[in-house]
Amino acid sequence: MGMAARGAPPGAAFFDLDRTLMQGSSAFQFGRAAHRAGLLGRRQLLADAFANLRFRLRGASDEDSLALRDRIAASLAGQRVVDLERLGADVLARILPRVYPRMLELAHEHQDAGRRAFIVTAASQELADILASVLALDGAVGSTMSEVIDGVYTGRPAGLFIYGGGKARAVRELAVRERIDLAASYAYSDSISDLPMLEAVGHPVAVNPDAELARVAAQRGWQVVRLDRLRRRLTATGALAAAAAAGGAGGMALSRRRRPERGERGGRRS
């Protein structure tokens, strides 16, 4: 009698959020909504915009992610929980257009094959829960960004940070609670920081991988999915700019070598 016949637990599919299930950073989209509501200054928003662009191109280091969590927690100090909850609609309106359609299709394909699909992210548990519900997934695991006392954030980080080893621990704890077979499960991520989660399942998949994860995936024969075109667009733009500069320099050199013909004033127009 096979394992399935004896009622073996099914596998599941675990999806990182930023640069995996969606383009860019969910934290930045939260920051934009907070700025619009008057809860975040313009200078910090611009710093977050730069960090988001760098994140989309390179991924995030451990130091970047831990610093981001601490900064978010500190920025919440003194804010009412209800005020942040009221940002939900604006944040969703910014994130949903950035969800990769192919990744959402994959999640739903897993569900149709009998595997539950979960978001596992360093973003807040509240945001992760809302996204899982709206995207018709089975649940989510997120971080607790700040301690709350009497409905107000204290600014002190609290709870497990769902990042790196913490993300793998959260997946294992979820598997125990929900009777999930990790050997039959899939995990999707873009970052080497999620290597512990990817190693915890039988079917790891690198999505828009950073350089280190791409190297590991190649060495181990893992599936790689590339969806984020920003890096390629910027590379192409840089190549075009270089070509234009070279062409312009060549044109200037030619114009200096060539004497204007009668009737020409200032050379040809390009």
Contacts for 165 with CB less than 8 Å, ≥ 6 apart:
196
Catalytic, out of 16, 48, 194, 210: 16
Catalytic, out of 18, 48, 210, 228: 18
Cα–Cα dist 2/7, whole Å = 9
Cα–Cα dist 173/139, whole Å = 14
Residue identified by tokens 């200054």 is: 41
Contact 121, 141 (CB under 8 A): yes
- 16 flagged as catalytic: yes
3-state secondary structure of 172: helix
Cα–Cα dist 158/81, whole Å = 15
Cα–Cα dist 82/79, whole Å = 9
Cα–Cα dist 167/122, whole Å = 8
Where do the H-state alpha helices sit in the chain? 26-36, 42-58, 62-76, 81-85, 88-95, 101-112, 125-134, 165-178, 195-199, 211-220, 230-257
- 18 flagged as catalytic: yes
Cα–Cα dist 159/31, whole Å = 22
> Which tokens hold the place of 232?
């390629």
Question: Count of residues for the chain?
Answer: 270
Give me the active site residues, please.
16, 18
